[in-house]
Every structure is written in C-alpha cells, then in structure tokens.
C-alpha cells in the first residue's frame, strides 16, 4: 500500500487548511486510489449474473438476447462498488476541546472523520454522521449524496457538554438501515465495560465497529510541574493539585485505561485504534481501509 | 534602648497578617483554573483533601507576612526612647500631673479614686524626678510648677477640688505642653492625666500636638455606673393677676437622664427666695428628658431666686438648678405723635409696646415741642410716630440724648411721606408715597433674618413678615451712613438704621397702623414692634442664669464693685485697670454690691454647670491619645542638636519601610520567576508553552 505524501497527512499542515472538503480530498487523493472493490452488485461494467424480471424493474436492463433464447425476461446485474453505510459517531463532548500541540483533539477528530468520509465516499459507501454536543444532537443520515452535508456539519459543530457516548451510539443504531460500519471517534472518557456494551449491540447486528481513541500528549503524560487548580472540562469540578507528585500514578492509571479499552473491545471483535494528535493521519486511514477491505464485503 | 510607638493604635493592623495566610489558603480556589479534559483519572489518584488545601508555599507566605508586619510597624511610628541612664543633666524624668477638676469629677465614686491615682503617679517618681501639677476643667491652672519637691506637689494635689465647670482635655494638655517646652534645652517628658474621660471634653482637641519626646498617659478614674440625672433648664412665665389674685409665676423644669438601666421616680422641688414653693414626684426615663411643671406661685416683689432640685444621685452638683427672675421694671418710651393724630391711629402700636414683660414698656405721648432733657432723662427710647425730626431746642435735646446712648425710632407714614422733612438724625428721607393698592399690596423682602430686630420672630427671621401686605408706604432714600435692614418687594427700603454716637436710630416705612396695611393683624406684629424699640434702646432681656465659666460684666456705673460668690468668697474686679468682669466659676447665686458686700445687692446672677457636663459618657484612653498628634512645628524651637537627635530616634520607620519595599521587590521576583512565575500563566497553557 503506497504511503500518502507526508505533507497531506501531517496534522500541523492540515491545521492550516480551513476547508474540510479540500482537506479530506487532499488527504485521500494523496493516500490511496482504488485499492478495493465492493462485491455488491450495482451499476458497473463488470457483469455479475442474471436474475428474473420483477415488476417495476427498469426495462432498459432486460437482457433481450436471453429473452430471445428463453422467451423469459431476465435482467443483467453487474458487480459494483458497495454502498455500505459508514456512520461516523463523533464525540463532541467538552473534553475533546483540549490540545497541547498545534492541533487540538476535536480538530484532529474532525480531520479524521472528514478524511475517512471522503475515502468512504470514493469507495461508493453511504456516509452518515452523528454528533452529540451537550444536548445538541446533529444527525446526517447515511447517503451517497450527503458527503458535503457531513462536511458542513463537521465544520460547524463545537465540542461542549458532558460526554454521552452510549446515548450517541444508541442514535447510531436507530439510523442504520443496512449492514455497515460504525466509526466511533472519541477520547474515550468512559468506562471500558460501558463502551463495550454500547458497541456490542451494534456489532451483534452485523455491523463492524472501529474505535479511534484520540489522545493528546498532555493528557497522556501530565507534564506540568507547577501546582494548579485543575478543572474538569465537562463537569466543572476543580481540584487543586500538584502534578509533580501525581504524574506517575496518573500515567499508570491512564495506561491501564487504554489497555482495558483494547481488551474489552477486542472481546467483541471491535477494532481499537489509539491515535495521538501529534501523529499523522495515515495510520488511522490505513487501519480503516484494512478493516473496510477485510471485514465489510457486503452484497 | 526601648522602642515606643507614637501611634500604637495602628499596631492593630497586625491583624492584617492573617490576610496573606487567607490568600494562600484561598488563592488556589480563586486562581484561574487550568482546564483539563477530565479529572476521571486524577480523582482515582490517592490524595487526601487536607493535602490539597495545605499551604504549599511557606517561603512566599512568610515573606508576605513579613512585608505586612514591617509596613504596620513603620506606620505605627516607632521611636527609640532614650535609655534612663542617658537622661539629660537636669533631672531624670519630667512628669506633669494633670488632674481633672470638672463638675463630673464630683461623682461620689470618682474623686477619691482620682486623688488616689494622682498619689499613685507621684509614688512612682524617683528622687531626682521633677513633677508639676496642673488642675484643669475648661481652663487649666498650674497648681505646682516643675519641682523636685514631691511633697509640695502632693500638697498641691490635695488642694484641688472638683468645681462646677465643664471639661476640656485640650486646655490641660496644652498647659502641660507649654510647661514642658519652657525648658528648651531639656527634651522629653510625661503627661499623666487623671480624668473620667468624659466624651464632652474632647472638643478643642483639633490641632493639638505634642512633641515626639513627650508621652501622654490617660488614667481613667470614671465611675463604672455612669447613669446620671440632672436639671438642665427652667422655664419661667409671669402670669398677670386679677383684681382678686396677685401676679403669679409659672415655673417648669427640664430634667435629663442619661445612662440609667431603668426609669426611676424622683422628687423635684421648687423654692423661691429660700421658701419651698412646690414639690412633686416625677418618673424619669432611663435615657431621655422630661419637663415638670409646678403650680404657679405668687410673684414676690423684687428679684426672685428660684432653686429647682431633684433627689440627689451620685453626681450631686447638677441636681440643683439656680434661676434669677429679675424684678419687673417698667421702662418709659416717649412717643412723639402728630397733632392731627386720630384717636385709634396708634392704638395697635401702643398696645404692642405695653404687652410683654422683661422689660415692660410704657408709652407716653408727647408732641414734638414738648421734648426736653427732663422728659428724655428716664426714657429708653423715643418714637417719632409719623412725625418728622423735630427742629429747634427739641431737636437739639433729642440729638444730644441719642448721642449719649438713647434709642430713636422713626415710623414714617403718610404725614412724613407727604412732605420732604428734615433728615437730622434719621437714616433716611422720604420722597413721596407709594400706593400698592392696585397690585394687592407690597410685601417685605430681602430682609436680613440674622438682624436682632428679627430675632424674636424665630429662626425664620423675616419669613413671617412675608405674608403681611403694605398698601401705602413712603419711599425712603437712605442716607450715606445708613444701613438697609429690610426692603419692600419693589426695592424701596422698609427698615433703615444708623448709629449716632452711643445711640441707635431706626427708621421704618412699614405701616404700623391698620389703615395702610394688615401688619397689626399679623402674629409678627407684636414681636417686631417690641424688638425694634428694644433694639434701638439697646436693652436686652437679662438671662435667667449663666453657665459656669462665663463672665459677668459689671455695669460701668458701678464704682468699686464687690461680687460675692456662692461659696462666700469676695471678688473685686479692678475696674480702674480695665477689668470689668468676674468669672463665674461656682454654681449658685452670685451677688454684686457696691463698696462692701452688705445690704441690698445691686444685681444677682444665677450660675449653673454646663448641661454637657452631666453626660458621663466616656471615651477610651486610646481615643484620647489618637486625637493628639505629633508636634512638627514646635520642634522648630528646639536646637539643631535636639532636632537631629529626634530625627535619629524616628529613623526606624524609614528603615522598616525600605525593608518592606525591598522585600516586596523580592516577592515580585519570586512570583514572576521559576515555577511560581509559570503558575501564574499555567491557565490554558500547554506544557510546551503554546496555547491549546
């Protein structure tokens, strides 16, 4: 698999691009083109099979040669790119509005969703989006024509309020119409067991799920040295702390959380991909494509 | 060397030391918080609450507390006291003992304690110490100048007795300061003030300063129970008698109480000329005042000495009140009337003159031609009732009489206004009549309410005259030396006055009859008429009593006056040397004689303590000390060496302030560098320094 040009993957460069559509197209065009094909029949030049005519079928698709031979109406079907539903669940809680580097977690997550959506669109998939920021729910139903709407929605949503990943995934479950992929992009401030249970329901219905855990270096390393008053972005709770004295314990707890997330999600066959905001997007795109090629061939 | 503070009250600012501590404990709560995605994991870290709220920066806290302490110490003005061994050559200590002898010190629980305290101060003196004794009330008396003879000072203390006058701490402190500053080559001293620290004694303290080397110490000997009742005033009214009943005197007394825990019932008694004339029980409020009226008593002849007293309490001096009601004298007023005077034309004016007492006035009609020196001899005023200034011998006699102190009142009406008269003594000349019948009459305006003529009209001054209408009045033109006291609303003078030698001349254009206006029907008419005549005559009602400390002026006609004080002491004002008044120091009746103190007195004067002295509310000793500032001006009288020495002793405060300033800079450096500096900018700042 060819690597994308680094300039279109580096988050620092992406941060300078204001247009999400341009950003996503640049990323995807530079990353991959035509790497996989759907097994789902559709509009294509590759013949798949004949099937008997049903009332309401387009008469232009009737194979008149077969009719001449068999005196029955058969329609020609072709192999086409799949149009599976790819629904992105973007965590827009206030905790995502944090960043210690050039790109904050929420911006990084938006770039990631935009790029993945563009990639999915190129594959002929139907893309949809669910975000839940506080009490404000944004839903873009999955459709092949909703990419621009999805990008527009991504552009205007702001991170705020408390995290409600289970509620968001519940709305995703209501949206899905066919077999598809659910992509959760979040900082995963949720108990791993709760997250697993929420995603397990989707997975049990045949959907594939992938969790991108967006991590900022500062929240991972707790690098501060001065005493300070730490405030929870979502709840507003404050704690006067001395980071120096807490760093080691904190890092252990944080790493344990990630390990437990990976363990719990893998039990349900759900992919768990930690992504750091100071890392390029290609690793995330590659993981998505691998999953898309290997596990989501649908007809 | 011991250090004392010039403003020790500021040391209370040490309480501000708690401020840095509170800041350190609370600062973290108020500090702009650092937003973090979630405290989900941090809350799992095992830390105790106490550990979170502890003081995290002890060095900074100590530094800030030290800055506050240094600043407070500096503003308390520390002064290095000279070591006892380094005292000047003349004597070691100089102590001025101030003893309060005001009326309130006569409290049964106070005076003995005051003497004990004074002796206690004396007992602390070393043999080489010099001491002075000053007694003070509203004035100060040096009972004993600075001396090494402590026995003489003790004797001086023993001579002091509480009097009847008020309290003024400032008088005593000033006297003590002057005593200490008399010795320019010796600095330092101590003023020990034995007093009950009455609140009313603080008046006059403004601007009072002491040299920095003089220490003031107040020794509070005030009673713990400061409740007190006092007779603070008496109202007297003469009631006219009838054919069957003599003239009577109605007396009512004002009794004030302060600081009692509960109302109390006392008996109040009235005596007139030494005879009991009434008694009744009254219930006094715990804190307030009442007016108790006695049944009218028959009016004796001559001067009446009234004494109102209540049951004695701990402070007896203000339980008795003395009043002198002067004998009623009838004063003559010569009224020069025109020959064509109608029978009722001057009725209102004459009735107004004859109404009232103290003094009573009797008008005697005369024509202009009938004026001569004999007619004018006993008169206090001459009223020219709508007649011009007489000429000829009458005019000459009148002019001489006014020049010697007589009072002349000219009432200008239609007769004076109708023709140009002779100005003579008068402060104005009439130029025709003004008719205001078409515009509903004129009113008096632009009056000077503070003028004595309007004083009987009350605080509103000439205000009550504003409703009076004057339809016709002469237009007066004032002379060059005349003063316009009141004008009509059209600008025309209504009341003029001028001085002529020792006498007064008053001229009015206001119509005083009922035909040219409605003034006689107004309530202001009577006090205006009497006030105008008495003002011109220079006669004022004698006060019923004076306050202790006031002066009593001896009439110029009295030769070789002798004044007998209530205690029996004889006072002889040296009139030949220009001393024509005696100071009324005692409460009671003062009597004035001529030549020797026997026979009928020429005059009697009642004296009472100042009412404020009956309020025993006290201030704290510190409040007294705060009111006394440091003398910076008087220091100029000191020698250059002593100035330098005083400066050296006060240099500490500068050092302390400089030290505090340096520490402040250090604190600034501490808080802006290192992790403390980043702590201030930690909010929303990423570890690498960039904004999130």
Query: In chain A, what residues touch B31 (CB-CB under 8 Å)?
Result: 228-229
Q: pLDDT per residue over B49-99, tens digit each?
A: 444 555 667 788 888 888 888 888 888 878 776 554 444 444 478 899 999
Measured CA distances, B177 to A91, B181, B210, B634 (Å): 84, 6, 7, 10
pLDDT at B505 over 70: yes
- A25 falls in which pLDDT band (50, 70, 90)? low
Q: Pairing between strand A180-186 and A208-215?
A: parallel
Please judge whether A228 and B29 are an interchain contact, meaning their C-beta atoms are less than 8 angstroms apart: no
Give the per-residue pLDDT at B647: 63
Q: Percentage of chain B with pLDDT > 70?
A: 83
- A10 falls in which pLDDT band (50, 70, 90)? low
Two structure tokens written together for A148? 């621009």
- pLDDT mean over B360-374: 86
Compute the distance between CA of residue B571 and CA of residue B562 in angstroms, rounded to an integer. 6
Query: In chain B, what residues touch A101 (CB-CB under 8 Å)?
Result: 686, 688, 690
Give the per-residue pLDDT at B450: 74
Closest partner residue to A218 (CB to CB) among B39, B45, B686 is B686
Please judge whether A224 and B682 are an interchain contact, meaning their C-beta atoms are less than 8 angstroms apart: yes
Query: In chain A, what residues touch B55 (CB-CB under 8 Å)?
Result: none
| Higher local confidence (pLDDT), B575 or B640 | B575
Query: In chain A, what residues touch B46 (CB-CB under 8 Å)?
Result: 249
DSSP 3-state of B354:
helix
- A13 falls in which pLDDT band (50, 70, 90)? low
- Listed ranges B24-28, B186-190, B634-638; the one with the highest mean pLDDT: B186-190
Please judge whether A246 and B32 are an interchain contact, meaning their C-beta atoms are less than 8 angstroms apart: no
Q: Lowest-pLDDT range, A268-272, B480-484, B628-632, B659-663?
A: B628-632
Please give the domain boundaries of chain B with CATH numbers for all domains.
Answer: 3-77+652-680 (no CATH), 84-225+617-649 (3.40.50.410), 228-325 (2.60.40.10), 330-537 (3.40.50.880), 546-612 (no CATH)
Of the candidates A214, A231, A211, which has an alpha carbon nearest to the alpha carbon of residue A287? A211
For chain A, counts of helices (H) and of strands (E): 10, 11
Q: Quote the mean pLDDT of chain A.
A: 78
Chain A residue whose CA is closest to B47? A246
A&B contacts, CB < 8 Å: 107
Give the per-residue pLDDT at A43: 46
pLDDT at B121 over 70: yes
Two structure tokens written together for B354? 């004859």
pLDDT at B681 over 60: no
Give the per-residue pLDDT at B689: 41
Give phi and psi for B413, each to the nearest 5: -120, -150
Please give the domain boundaries of chain A with CATH numbers for all domains.
Answer: 6-36+82-295 (3.40.50.410), 41-79 (no CATH)
Q: pLDDT per residue over B572-631, tens digit each?
A: 887 676 667 888 889 999 999 988 888 888 889 999 999 889 988 888 877 777 667 665
pLDDT at B538 over 70: yes
- Listed ranges A74-88, B440-454, B608-622; the one with the highest mean pLDDT: B608-622
Our CA-based measurement puts residue B27 at a distance from the nearest CA of chain A, in whole angstroms, of: 10
Q: Quote the mean pLDDT of chain B.
A: 81
Q: pLDDT per residue over B544-573, tens digit each?
A: 888 898 888 777 667 788 999 999 999 888
* CB neighbourhood size of B470 (10 A): 23
Query: In chain B, what residues touch A219 (CB-CB under 8 Å)?
Result: 36-38
Give the per-residue pLDDT at B27: 58
Q: Where are the beta strands (DSSP E) in A187-237?
A: 208-215, 228-232
A51 CB-side CA count, 13 A: 11
Give the per-residue pLDDT at B1: 56
Q: Which residues of A209-244 are buried (b: 16+ CB within 10 A; e: fewer)?
A: bbbbbbbbbbbbebebbbbbbbbbbbeeebbbbbbe
Give the per-residue pLDDT at B59: 80
Chain A residues within 8 angstroms (CB to CB) of chain B: 95-96, 98-102, 104-105, 187, 189, 216, 218-219, 221, 223-235, 237-242, 245-246, 249-250, 253-254, 257
Compute the distance between CA of residue A196 and CA of residue A200 in angstroms, rounded to an integer. 6
Give the per-residue pLDDT at B255: 93
Chain A residue whose CA is closest to B57? A227
B687 touches chain A (CB under 8 A): yes
Q: Which residue has the tokens 């004080």?
A: B565
- pLDDT mean over B398-426: 82
Q: What is the DSSP letter of A179?
A: S
Please judge whether A102 and B690 are an interchain contact, meaning their C-beta atoms are less than 8 angstroms apart: yes
Q: Pairing between strand A41-42 and A74-79?
A: antiparallel
Our CA-based measurement puts residue A96 at a distance from the nearest CA of chain B, in whole angstroms, of: 7
Q: Are B289 and B282 in contact (CB under 8 A)?
A: no
Give the per-residue pLDDT at B266: 92
Our CA-based measurement puts residue B46 at a distance from the nearest CA of chain A, in whole angstroms, of: 9
For chain B, counts of helices (H) and of strands (E): 15, 35
Give the per-residue pLDDT at B331: 83
Compute the distance between CA of residue B164 and CA of residue B315 in angstroms, rounded to an integer. 11
Q: Lowest-pLDDT range, A116-125, A222-231, B119-128, B637-646?
A: B637-646
Of the candidates B518, B365, B508, B490, which has an alpha carbon nearest to the alpha carbon of residue B428? B508
Q: Lowest-pLDDT range, A274-278, A288-292, B187-191?
A: A288-292
Compute the distance between CA of residue B403 and CA of residue B391 in angstroms, rounded to an integer. 16
User: Which residues are CB-neighbours of B501 under 8 A, at least 6 positions away?
Assistant: B402, B403, B404, B405
Query: In chain A, what residues touch B682 (CB-CB under 8 Å)?
Result: 224, 226, 228
Measured CA distances, A217 to A15, A222, A242, B495, B582 (Å): 17, 8, 18, 98, 98
Q: Please report the ipTM that was assigned to this predicted complex.
A: 0.75
| Higher local confidence (pLDDT), B19 or B692 | B19
- A112 falls in which pLDDT band (50, 70, 90)? confident
Q: What is the DSSP letter of B423?
A: -
- With 0-12 CB in 10 A as exposed, 13-18 as middle and 19+ as buried, what is A52? exposed
Closest partner residue to B37 (CB to CB) among A189, A246, A250 is A189
Please judge whether A98 and B31 are an interchain contact, meaning their C-beta atoms are less than 8 angstroms apart: no
Chain A residue whose CA is closest to B51? A241
Two structure tokens written together for A162? 């408390």
DSSP 3-state of A173:
helix
- pLDDT mean over B223-247: 82
Our CA-based measurement puts residue A249 at a distance from the nearest CA of chain B, in whole angstroms, of: 6
DSSP 3-state of B674:
helix
Give phi and psi for B343, each to the nearest 5: -55, -40
Q: Are A126 and A86 in contact (CB under 8 A)?
A: yes
Is residue B203 reached through a cis peptide bond, with omega within 30 degrees of 0 on the bond before it?
no
Of the candidates B169, B539, B575, B612, which has an alpha carbon nearest to the alpha carbon of residue B379? B539
- pLDDT mean over B364-371: 86
Closest partner residue to B41 (CB to CB) among A225, A231, A254 is A254
Give the per-residue pLDDT at B564: 92
Give the per-residue pLDDT at A297: 37
């Amino acid at each position: 698999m060819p690597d994308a040009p680094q300039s279109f993957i580096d988050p620092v460069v992406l941060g300078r691009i204001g247009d999400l559509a341009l950003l996503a197209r640049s990323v995807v065009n530079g990353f991959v083109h035509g790497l996989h094909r759907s097994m789902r029949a559709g509009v294509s030049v590759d013949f798949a099979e004949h099937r008997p005519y049903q009332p309401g079928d387009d008469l232009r698709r009737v194979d008149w040669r077969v009719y001449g031979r068999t005196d029955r109406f058969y329609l020609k079907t072709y192999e086409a790119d799949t149009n599976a539903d790819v629904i992105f669940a973007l965590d827009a809680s206030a905790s995502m509005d944090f960043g210690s580097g050039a790109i904050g977690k929420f911006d990084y997550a938006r770039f990631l969703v935009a790029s993945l959506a563009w990639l999915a669109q190129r594959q002929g998939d139907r893309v949809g989006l669910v975000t839940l920021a506080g009490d404000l729910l944004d839903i873009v139903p999955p459709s092949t024509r909703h990419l621009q709407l999805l990008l527009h929605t991504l552009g205007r949503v702001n991170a705020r309020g408390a995290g409600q990943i289970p509620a968001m995934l519940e709305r995703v479950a209501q949206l899905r119409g066919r077999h598809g992929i659910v992509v959760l992009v979040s900082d995963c401030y949720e108990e791993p067991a709760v997250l697993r249970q929420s995603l397990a329901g989707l997975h049990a219905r045949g959907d594939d799920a992938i969790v991108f855990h967006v991590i900022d270096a500062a929240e991972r390393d707790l690098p501060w040295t001065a005493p300070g008053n730490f405030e929870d972005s979502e709840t507003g709770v404050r704690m006067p702390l001395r980071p120096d004295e807490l760093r080691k314990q904190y890092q252990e707890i944080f790493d344990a959380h990630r390990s437990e997330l990976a363990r719990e999600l893998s039990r349900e066959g759900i992919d768990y991909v930690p992504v750091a905001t100071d890392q390029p997007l290609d690793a995330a795109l590659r993981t998505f494509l691998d999953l898309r090629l290997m596990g989501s061939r649908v007809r | 060397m011991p250090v004392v503070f010039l403003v020790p009250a500021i040391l209370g600012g040490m309480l501000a030391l708690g401020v840095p501590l509170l800041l350190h404990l609370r600062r973290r709560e108020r500090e702009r918080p650092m937003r973090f995605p979630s405290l989900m994991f941090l809350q799992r870290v095992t830390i105790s609450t106490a550990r979170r709220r502890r003081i995290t920066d002890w060095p900074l806290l100590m530094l800030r507390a030290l800055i506050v302490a240094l600043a407070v110490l500096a503003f308390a003005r520390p002064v290095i006291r000279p070591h006892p061994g380094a005292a000047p050559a003349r004597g070691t200590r100089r102590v001025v003992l101030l003893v309060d002898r005001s009326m309130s010190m006569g409290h049964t629980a106070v005076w003995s304690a005051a003497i004990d305290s004074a002796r206690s101060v004396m007992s602390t003196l070393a043999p080489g110490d010099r001491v002075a004794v000053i007694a003070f009330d509203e004035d100060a008396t040096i009972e004993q100048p600075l001396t090494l003879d402590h026995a003489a000072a003790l004797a001086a203390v023993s001579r002091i007795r509480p009097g009847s006058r008020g309290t003024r701490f400032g008088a005593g402190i000033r006297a003590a300061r002057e005593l200490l500053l008399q010795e320019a080559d010796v600095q330092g001293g101590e003023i020990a003030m034995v007093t009950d620290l009455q609140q009313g004694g603080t008046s006059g303290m403004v601007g009072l300063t002491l040299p920095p080397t003089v220490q003031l110490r107040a020794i509070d000997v005030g009673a713990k129970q400061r409740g007190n009742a006092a007779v603070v005033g008496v109202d007297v009214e003469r009631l006219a008698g009838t054919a069957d009943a003599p003239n009577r005197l109605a007396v009512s007394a004002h009794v004030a109480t302060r600081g009692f825990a509960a109302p109390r019932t006392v008996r109040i008694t009235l005596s007139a000329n030494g005879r009991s004339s009434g008694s009744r029980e009254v219930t006094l409020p715990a804190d307030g005042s009442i007016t108790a009226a006695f049944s009218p008593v028959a009016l004796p002849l001559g001067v009446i000495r009234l004494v109102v007293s209540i049951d004695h309490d701990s402070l007896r001096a203000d339980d008795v009140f003395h009043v002198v009601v002067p004998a009623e004298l009838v004063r003559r007023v010569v009224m020069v009337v025109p020959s064509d005077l109608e029978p009722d034309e001057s009725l209102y004016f004459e009735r107004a003159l004859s109404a009232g007492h103290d003094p009573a006035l009797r008008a005697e009609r005369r024509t202009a031609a009938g004026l001569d020196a004999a007619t004018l001899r006993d008169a206090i005023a001459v009223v020219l009732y709508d007649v011009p200034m007489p000429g000829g011998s009458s005019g000459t006699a009148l002019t001489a009489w006014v020049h010697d102190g007589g009072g002349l009142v000219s009432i200008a009406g239609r007769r004076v206004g109708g023709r140009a008269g002779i100005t003579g003594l008068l402060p104005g000349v009439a130029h025709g009549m003004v008719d205001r019948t078409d515009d509903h009459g004129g009113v008096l305006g632009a009056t000077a309410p503070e003028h004595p003529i309007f004083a009987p009209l009350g605080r509103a001054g000439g205000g009550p005259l504003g409703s009076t209408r004057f339809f016709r009045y002469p237009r007066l033109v004032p002379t060059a030396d005349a003063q316009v006291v009141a004008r009509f609303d059209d600008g025309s003078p209504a009341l003029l006055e001028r001085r002529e030698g020792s006498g007064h001349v008053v001229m009015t254009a206001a119509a005083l009859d009922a035909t040219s206006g409605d003034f006689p029907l107004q309530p202001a008419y009577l006090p205006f008429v009497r006030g105008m005549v008495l003002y011109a005559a220079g006669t004022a009602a004698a006060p019923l009593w004076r306050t202790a400390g006031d002066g009593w002026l001896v009439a110029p006609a009295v030769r070789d006056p002798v004044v007998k004080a209530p205690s029996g002491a004889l006072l002889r004002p040296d009139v030949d040397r220009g001393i024509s008044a005696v100071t009324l120091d005692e409460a009671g009746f003062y009597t004035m004689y001529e030549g020797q103190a026997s026979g009928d007195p020429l005059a009697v004067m009642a004296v009472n303590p100042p009412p404020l002295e009956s309020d025993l509310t006290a201030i704290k000793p510190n409040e007294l000390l705060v009111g006394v500032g440091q003398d910076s001006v008087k220091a100029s009288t000191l020698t250059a060496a002593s100035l330098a020495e005083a400066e050296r002793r006060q240099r500490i405060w500068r050092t302390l302030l400089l030290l505090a300033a340096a520490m402040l800079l250090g604190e600034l450096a501490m808080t802006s560098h290192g992790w403390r500096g980043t702590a201030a900018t930690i909010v929303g700042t990423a570890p690498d320094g960039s904004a999130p």
